Amino acid sequence: MKIGDKIAGKVTGIQPYGAFVELEDGTSGLIHISEIKTGFVDNIYEQVSLGQEVLVQVVDLDEYTGKASLSIRTLEEEKQKIPRHHRFTSDRHKTGFAPLGQALPGWVKESVAFLKEKKKA
């Protein structure tokens, strides 16, 4: 088992902070309440039940104890295709910082003139 693996398991215990899951490979793990679903979970008992079969993703793994931190939320979010917002970029122009470098001397002159005027007043 490694981080990112998707494994089936069975809920063996539920606490207010999360659900314990026995995985099919014999190891155990915890689904923290924040990893049950996207959004706020007020009552974990309404989301999972004892004996429920769940598909989880390994978020973290303690190799020393063999226990895993698990998530159902990551699999839920994976199913939803969130549109990627495009931001302005000058990648296609390949200009980089050149326009700023060209404008800098003018900005410095303006700033010096402004400060000299302010000092006189």
Tell me the two tokens of residue 24.
Answer: 């099919």
Q: How many domains, the chain?
A: 1
- The domain of 73 spans 6-79
- Residue 52 in domain: yes
Query: CATH number, domain at 21?
Result: 2.40.50.140
Q: Is the pLDDT of residue 114 over 90?
A: yes
| Predicted pLDDT of residue 115 | 93
Report in angstroms the alpha-carbon separations of 70 from 2, 19, 37, 54, 56.
11, 9, 12, 11, 6
- Residue 32 in domain: yes
| Predicted pLDDT of residue 97 | 78
User: Please, which pLDDT band fits residue 11 given cuts at 50, 70 and 90?
Assistant: very high
- Residue 70 in domain: yes
Closest CA to 71 of 14, 5, 16: 5
- Residue 114 in domain: no
